[in-house]
Amino acid sequence: MIGLTGRKKKRRDGATTDVALRCIGVSKSFGETVAVQDFDIEVRRGQILALVGPSGCGKTTVLRMIAGLEAIDTGRIEIGGKLVASDGRHIGPDRRSVGIVFQDYALFPHMTVQANIGYGLGRKGRAERVEEVLALVGLEGLGRRLPNELSGGQQQRVALARTLASRPDVLLLDEPFSNLDAGLRERVRAEVREILKAAGTTTVFVTHDQQEALFMGDLVGVQVRGRIEQVDVPERVFHRPATSVVARFMGTADFLPVDTIDTRLVTEAGPARAVPGFEPPEEGPLEVMARPDDFVLAPSEEGQGVVVDRVFQGWAYTYEVELNSGLRIHCQMPHLLTIEVGVRVLVNLRRDHPQMFFSNGSAVPEVPRYGYLSDRPATGSPGEAPGGAV
Amino acid sequence: MTVQRAMDAGITAGPGAIWTPRQLLPRGLRREPLSLWLVAVAIAGAAALPAVYLVVRAADSGDTAIDAILDSDTAGILWRTIQLIALVTAGSVLIAVPLAWLTVRTDLPYRRAWAVASVLPLAIPSYVGALAFISAFGPRGLVQGWLEGPFGINRLPDLYGLTGAAVVLTLLSYPYVFLAVRATLWRLEPEMEEASWTLGRSPWQTFRRVTLPLLYPAIGAGALLVALYTLSDFGAVALLQYDTFTRVIFNEYNTAFNRAGAAALSLVLLGVGVTLILIEASARRRARYYSGANAARRKRRIVRLGRWRWPASVFSGAVTLLALGVPVFVLAYWLVRGIDAGESGLFDWGAAYNSVRYSLAAAIATVIAAVPISVLSVRRPGLLSAVLERFSYVGFALPGIAVGLGLVFFGIRYATGIYQTAYLLVFAYVVLFLPVAVGLIRASLMQVNPRMEEAAMSLGRSRINAFLTITVPLVRPGLAAAGIMVFLLTMKELPATLILGPFESRTLATSIWSAAEEAFFARAAAPSLLLVLASAIPMTFLVLRERSTT
């Protein structure tokens, strides 16, 4: 929050309109339950923000507050530089220029596809715009169908088209692929990303699926128990998590206690490697984070671990190894090597890249929670094509 | 033997064997037993019997029947009936839709109490409602008496005829639309309206273009019930002296002894009923909406009425006052006056006993008859089961008076043994109320996953055993609701009871009727109040239960 407000002041004179959506310190409680707490975000025009978190973390509430379907308790929300919600101010959803695609699409069952898409448009130029958007989502010729005559994937695209038709400043997608089966989902999400990029629409996209967030987002925001843990480009959220909560949520991660002996960092799985100039904290425990591919495994009578489980994944095996201390770790090894359960193994951390260290749940050295903001005002953030509606 | 059973259950499928789901079922499960079909055919046939005998009787009389239709001003009767149906249906929709919306979607004060009060007029038989209105607003009625002294008003607008019949029937039948619209409003997905708002439409535009069209099927279904209720009503139109089909048919049969004419007119009546059903069905086919599968996920949005709370409360209050308050007050007034005057024979316990006896028998018989048809139409959807279901719906389109007449002809000719006995009367009730029971039982059967019964059979239970131990307990609420509904409807039923009732065996309905015909209000009050109370209590229970499950 501090970082954001500070930035905002600095940017006052500059191009604020570049920011399509800004939330500052937004909170919301339902009775005793705190759904969202101190939510901060800044999304630039044309960017896709993927908001990911376990179910019940308040991400849908965030979408509904941005859309104006829920009032906020504290904080402020700006859309396209215009204040739409703050303490005591609430602009209704019909006057916000946001579009929302619901989890189960909420298509109007009594209207044709055309009528659904044209629903939010004025009379003038409606037919042309409907055709245009139908073409954009690849549903030419299906305009006269009723929603229940379409497949799930097609209904999804109609919902998207209906929302895109009125060119909203911000598009909100609530778990849009959760009603599709696995095979279809991968194809549809690639199509949707292409459509959104072609339309140049600023998007906030909510999901509980990490893979989906990494694939869809220009930015990935991790929300846990109503709070934003980290927002950054997908690569950094995955490889440089700001907290151990983010690290665990974004994929399998093991944490090994580290002993500092002189300048060496020693773990039960051998020495760990830090970035140059790394300084361990003065006090408190230090842990190193390891993803399954950060370990090397070899059968050995002298090894410090025993294989307790093995999961075949086609291209690789994932072994669960119990170290002498009782700690269990996960290592992924190519399928060329097969180790049976019960075999003693020697486990070592890979030395070819520096690892991430954590103390009391936070990264050491500290990783900024809003790392993407320091990329500015460098020209454009990754994979972004601002402006230009269709 | 064991191997065979295991094979049948698909357990010993060897490596590489591919079983279709159908083959996985034990053999006996793949088809419903023939006996069930035969029973269902017999029941559907019996339900169609009154209609068939009306046709037979009319055809026998040949020219006489045609003359009867041509002579007796059929076009006039038809026109009057249609006018009444149109007014009552339109009035019911205009009252019920706002009332349903207010009680589900707004912060109307005491909206739960209003919801229950808005359903209760269903507990009032039409002849009791008409009687109360005549006593209150008729010439020399209570209201005029109050107004005459202080205001010198000695003439109220005429209650008899179309106006009075339309008002009374609207106030008593709007709950059918109310219940249907309410159920749909509960199920409506809030996302539908939210989507409309985020697309830039105001709340009013959203209501007009999204919410209201989604309510059309419910309004249509409710309106059909209101129209059929109006078409088949005999008590209110007779007391209010408005000549619709039912009143003319009864007079032809009862006073003019023109049986051929009565049969012929009953056929025209049946035609009107079928037409109404077809109109509603074709409207429904055009609107193939789906019902929200995952409604109730989020709490529905409550509209704040603000200063509109007062007109809304006045509206709800006025409806309840007229539909419920007037009849109850008038009946209580006459009861108290009767007791004060020390009149004897105010209450006929024998009639109450007969009513309960017949209604209990009708409820049990109807539920038993409804089960085979419901099971087949839910579990074996197909041409034959659809035809059977339609046949069981005869009572829906055929008013009580026509069912009564059909069975009179049948009884006189082929079943003199049971003619003028309680058996034939109960049979008439079964025919009349079978559609209601089938509807309720079907709905609860559809909630039961057939896989559960199949699981029970794969665990070694017989078909009957699985049905009795798994399905029946799960649909028990539906069976109970069907039984209660049939019981209530039978208690109130008048025209068939008048025509088929055994000699010298009065029921609550017939004793109210004979008192009402002579405008002997004090004598009608006690049985009427008892009838209303007996219906209101289980009805309140049904309404409250419905809300807790939706």
Residue spans of the domains in chain B: they are 47-293+303-345, 349-505
Mean pLDDT of B152-171: 84
Instruction: Give the end-to-end CA distance of chain A in Å, rounded to a whole number.
Output: 34
Mean pLDDT of B355-377: 92
A98 min Cα distance to partner chain B (Å): 6
- A318 belongs to a structural domain: yes
- A276 and A135 within one domain: no
Test B197 with A95 for CB contact under 8 angstroms: no
Strand order in the sheet with A287-290: A254-257, A287-290, A356-359, A362-364
Q: How many domains does chain A have?
A: 2
Mean pLDDT of A287-293: 93
The CA angle B230-B235-B241, to the nearest 5 degrees, is 90
DSSP output for A26-88: EEEEETTEEEEEEEEEEEETT-EEEEE--TTSSHHHHHHHHHTSS--SEEEEEETTEEEEETT
Model confidence over B130-140: pLDDT tens digits?
999 998 888 77
Residue positions counted in chain A: 390
- A189 and A136 within one domain: yes
Test A100 with B198 for CB contact under 8 angstroms: yes
| Residue A133 confidence class, pLDDT cut points 50, 70, 90 | very high
Relative to beta strand A170-174, strand A98-101 is parallel
Three-state DSSP class for B407?
helix
Peptide bond connecting B33 to the previous residue in cis, omega within 30 degrees of 0: no
pLDDT of residue B149: 67
Burial class, B401, CB count within 10 angstroms (exposed 0-12 / middle 13-18 / buried 19+): buried
- A111 belongs to a structural domain: yes
| Residue B63 confidence class, pLDDT cut points 50, 70, 90 | confident
Provide the phi-psi class of B10: left if phi over 0, else alpha when psi is between -120 and 50, else beta: left
Cα dihedral: A170, A175, A179, A184 (round 10): 80
Is-above-0.80 flag for pTM? no
- Give the nearest partner residue to B294 out of A67, A104, A162, using CB atoms: A104
Q: Same topology for domains B47-293+303-345 and B349-505, yes or no?
A: yes
| Residue A343 confidence class, pLDDT cut points 50, 70, 90 | very high
- A358 and A235 within one domain: no
- A283 and A235 within one domain: no
Test A163 with B199 for CB contact under 8 angstroms: yes
Model confidence over A197-238: pLDDT tens digits?
988 999 999 999 999 999 999 999 999 988 899 999 999 999
| Residue B164 confidence class, pLDDT cut points 50, 70, 90 | very high
Mean pLDDT of B429-447: 89
- A346 and A323 within one domain: yes
Tell me: pLDDT of A378 over 50. no
Q: How far apart are CA B300 and CA A70, in angstroms?
A: 12
Percentage of the residues of chain A whose pLDDT score is greater than 90: 53
By C-alpha distance, the chain B residue nearest A119 is: B199
Q: How far apart are CA B512 and CA B524, in angstroms?
A: 5
**Residue in the block written with tokens 């209003």:** B114
Tell me: pLDDT of B146 over 80. no
Three-state DSSP class for A367?
coil
Tell me: pLDDT of A241 over 90. yes
Q: Give the domain extent around A275.
A: 252-364
**Residue in the block written with tokens 């309404």:** B543
Test A119 with B196 for CB contact under 8 angstroms: yes
- A385 belongs to a structural domain: no
- A191 and A333 within one domain: no
Q: What is the mean pLDDT of chain A?
A: 86
Test B194 with A163 for CB contact under 8 angstroms: no
- A381 belongs to a structural domain: no
- A154 and A257 within one domain: no
Burial class, B419, CB count within 10 angstroms (exposed 0-12 / middle 13-18 / buried 19+): middle
Mean pLDDT of B4-9: 37
In this structure, which long-range contacts are made by residues A310-319, counting pairs with CB atoms below 8 Å and at least 24 apart in sequence? A310/A339, A310/A340, A310/A341, A318/A292, A319/A345
Three-state DSSP class for B28?
helix
- A390 belongs to a structural domain: no
pLDDT of residue B461: 77
What b/e readout covers B194-213, taking b as 16+ CB neighbours within 10 angstroms? bbbbbbbbebeebbebbbee
Q: What are the residues whose beta carbons fall under 8 Å from the beta carbon of A193, sequence distance 6 or more?
A: A48, A215, A216
Nearest residue to B367 via CA among B446, B469, B474, B481 = B481
Identify the weakest region by mean pLDDT among A177-186, A353-362, B214-223, B477-486.
A177-186
Q: Chain B residues with CB-CB distance to A under 8 A?
A: 189, 191-192, 194-203, 209-210, 213-214, 216, 287-290, 293-294
- A77 belongs to a structural domain: yes
Identify the weakest region by mean pLDDT among A63-67, B440-444, B486-490.
B440-444
Q: What is the CATH classification number for the domain harbouring A56?
A: 3.40.50.300
Burial class, A253, CB count within 10 angstroms (exposed 0-12 / middle 13-18 / buried 19+): buried
Cβ pair A131, A94 in contact under 8 A: no
Tell me: pLDDT of B52 over 60. yes
Superfamily of domain B47-293+303-345: MetI-like (1.10.3720.10)
Between A387 and B55, the more confident residue is B55
Between B247 and B547, the more confident residue is B247
- A389 belongs to a structural domain: no
Q: What are the residues whose beta carbons fall under 8 Å from the beta carbon of A289, sequence distance 6 or more?
A: A241, A244, A247, A253, A254, A255, A355, A356, A357, A358
- A298 and A224 within one domain: no
| Residue B422 confidence class, pLDDT cut points 50, 70, 90 | confident
Confirm or reject contact between A106 and chain B (CB < 8 A): yes
pLDDT of residue A223: 93
pLDDT of residue B5: 38
- A379 belongs to a structural domain: no
Give the number of other Cβ atoms within 10 Å of residue B341's Cβ. Answer: 9
Three-state DSSP class for A170?
strand
By C-alpha distance, the chain A residue nearest B188 is: A106
Between A116 and B31, the more confident residue is A116
Q: How far apart are CA B495 and CA B269, in angstroms?
A: 14
Tell me: pLDDT of B9 over 50. no
Q: What is the CATH classification number for the domain harbouring A263?
A: 2.40.50.140
Tell me: pLDDT of A353 over 90. no
- A115 and A81 within one domain: yes
- A226 and A164 within one domain: yes
Bridge partners of A19, per DSSP, are A44
| Residue B60 confidence class, pLDDT cut points 50, 70, 90 | confident
- A319 and A302 within one domain: yes
- Complex ipTM above 0.85? no
| Residue B517 confidence class, pLDDT cut points 50, 70, 90 | confident
Q: What is the mean pLDDT of chain B?
A: 82
- A31 and A173 within one domain: yes
pLDDT of residue B72: 63
Mean pLDDT of B514-522: 85
| Residue A161 confidence class, pLDDT cut points 50, 70, 90 | very high
Q: For residue B189, which residues of chain A lie inside 8 Å, CB to CB? A: 104, 106
- Give the nearest partner residue to B198 out of A93, A104, A148, using CB atoms: A93
Q: What beta strand segments (E) does B126-178 contain?
A: none
Q: How far apart are CA A44 and CA A201, in angstroms?
A: 10
Please name the fold of domain B349-505.
MetI-like fold (1.10.3720)
Tell me: pLDDT of B20 over 50. no
Peptide bond connecting B538 to the previous residue in cis, omega within 30 degrees of 0: no
Q: How far apart are CA B196 and CA B211, in angstroms?
A: 10
Q: How far apart are CA B472 and CA B133, in angstroms?
A: 44
B217 min Cα distance to partner chain A (Å): 11
What would you report as the CA-atom Rg of chain B, rounded to the nearest whole angstrom?
26
